[in-house]
């Protein structure tokens, strides 16, 4: 497998790194502390083409490959995971799903502004009683002829208050179980659609996570994605690609933790020499670097398979499972290497540690990834 990057991919990585260092880093601590959504930064990401990277230019996207997307996600996640999760949702869950499965009318109306970053989207699957068990949808979309009548609640929705377009999973025919679920497009501002308070979270505190409430919301039939009953299959297909995005985010958090640790270890002195010269610290750095490189190879393998049109379900699940654990391990070690300084905000690593945990939970918990991997290898 060829892991040599093209000139275009390297240029994308450099552009993402410059943006992260120049535009995201200066205010990241303040945004985290005050749970402030990075509105201006997300707007700039749209202008730079980071919000619809893989979408065909015909629909306002960058027409890039998944590897370029992974490289950009890693660089942005090194600095601000709250920004990168918005980027991941918009690219992987919303734009990709609409481009692959949406009608031409849906692409013209919704995909174009989403891919160009003019607006951002949200993906609404989880519910109070339907997280990992996504088949147990309580939100209903009753077929009323020309439209669906949508009722229910969605939980943990990224871009919950800032999105303009929401892809919502709902049960239309309970007797058919998961084959009775539909995916419908809902616009902000529709009558009966309300947004709950922002969640007060451990990490990714700049990301706006909200519950969504639907009370007799009329959704036109033309806003259904795919055939009747395609919703659950749509969600699973979209999440397979989304796992590459979250694996890339986890990789970025881990590599960011390593970069900060290397810098600190070379500068900090103890017992008359830099702590980087102490074997105890060297072993930590060595383990971090090795695990990060292994995670990177798993993520790239999944991305390349997706780009070649090959099955990538197992590879994406493996990448997310492993990279999210590496993010946790590396960020914890980064705090340890920094000692007391690692426990304060100005050195950034405590934020990386808090941000890392969610990568083991959203878009499929680590336990769910193990189930997916086991099913794939037992086929």
Distance, CA of 292 to CA of 295 (rounded, Å) = 5
DSSP, collapsed to helix, strand or coil, labels residue 146 as coil
Q: 289 and 307 in contact (C-beta within 8 Å)?
A: no
Q: Which of 127, 333, 363, 376 is catalytic?
A: 363
Q: Which residues contact 228 (CB under 8 A, 6 or more apart)?
A: 172, 182
Is residue 363 among the annotated active site residues?
Answer: yes
Q: How many CA atoms lie less than 13 Å away from 63 in the CB half-sphere?
A: 6
Q: How many CA atoms lie less than 13 Å away from 149 in the CB half-sphere?
A: 6
Q: Encoding tokens for residue 109?
A: 């109306």
What is the secondary structure of 147-201 as a DSSP string?
A: EEEEEEEEEEEETTTT-SEEEEEEES-GGGGGGGEEEEEEETT-TTEEEEEEP--
Q: Is residue 168 within a helix (H) or strand (E), and if so which, with residue range?
A: strand 165-171
As a whole number of Å, the end-to-end CA separation of the chain is 24
DSSP, collapsed to helix, strand or coil, labels residue 15 as helix
Distance, CA of 212 to CA of 194 (rounded, Å) = 6
What is the secondary structure of 20-40 as a DSSP string?
A: IIIIIGGGHHHHHHTT---HH
Report CA-CA distances (Å) from 153 to 130, 225, 313, 336, 352.
10, 20, 29, 41, 31
| Dihedrals phi, psi of 48, to nearest 5 degrees | -85, -5
User: Quick count: other Cβ atoms within 10 Å of Cβ 374?
Assistant: 11
Q: Is residue 42 within a helix (H) or strand (E), and if so which, with residue range?
A: helix 39-47
User: Quick count: other Cβ atoms within 10 Å of Cβ 168?
Assistant: 28
The residues annotated as belonging to the active site are: 363
């Amino acid at each position: 497998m060829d892991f040599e990057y093209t000139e275009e991919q390297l240029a994308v990585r450099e552009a993402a790194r410059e943006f992260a260092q120049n535009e995201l880093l200066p205010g990241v601590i303040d945004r985290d502390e005050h749970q402030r959504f990075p509105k201006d930064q997300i707007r700039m990401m749209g202008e730079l083409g980071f919000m619809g990277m893989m979408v065909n230019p015909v629909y306002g996207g960058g027409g890039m490959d998944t590897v370029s997307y992974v490289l950009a996600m890693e660089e942005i996640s090194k600095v601000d995971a709250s920004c990168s999760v918005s980027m991941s949702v918009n690219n992987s869950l919303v734009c990709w799903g609409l481009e692959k499965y949406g009608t031409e009318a849906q692409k013209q109306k919704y995909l174009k502004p989403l891919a160009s970053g003019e607006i951002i989207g949200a993906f609404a699957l989880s519910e109070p009683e339907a997280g990992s068990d996504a088949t147990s949808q309580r939100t209903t979309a009753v077929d009323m002829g020309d439209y669906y009548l949508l009722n229910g609640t969605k939980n943990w929705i990224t871009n919950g208050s800032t999105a303009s377009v929401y892809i919502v999973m709902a049960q239309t025919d309970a007797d058919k179980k998961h084959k009775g679920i539909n995916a419908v497009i809902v616009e902000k501002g529709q009558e009966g659609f309300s947004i709950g308070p922002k969640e007060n979270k451990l990490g990714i505190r700049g990301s706006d996570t909200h519950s969504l409430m639907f009370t007799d919301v009329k959704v036109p039939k033309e806003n259904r994605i795919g055939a009747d009953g395609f919703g659950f299959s749509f969600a699973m297909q979209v999440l397979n690609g989304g796992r590459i995005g979250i694996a890339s985010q986890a990789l970025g958090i881990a590599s960011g933790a390593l970069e900060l640790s290397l810098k600190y270890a070379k500068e900090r002195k103890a017992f008359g020499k830099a702590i980087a010269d102490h074997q105890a610290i060297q072993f930590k750095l060595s383990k971090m670097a090795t695990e990060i490189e292994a995670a990177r190879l798993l993520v790239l393998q999944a991305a390349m398979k997706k780009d070649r049109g090959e099955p990538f379900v197992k590879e994406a699940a493996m990448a997310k499972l492993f990279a999210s654990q590496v993010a946790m391990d590396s960020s914890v070690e980064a705090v340890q290497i920094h000692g007391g300084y690692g426990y304060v905000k100005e050195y950034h690593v405590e934020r990386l540690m808090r941000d890392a945990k969610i990568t083991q939970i959203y878009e499929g918990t680590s336990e769910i990834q193990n189930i997916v991997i086991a099913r794939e290898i037992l086929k």
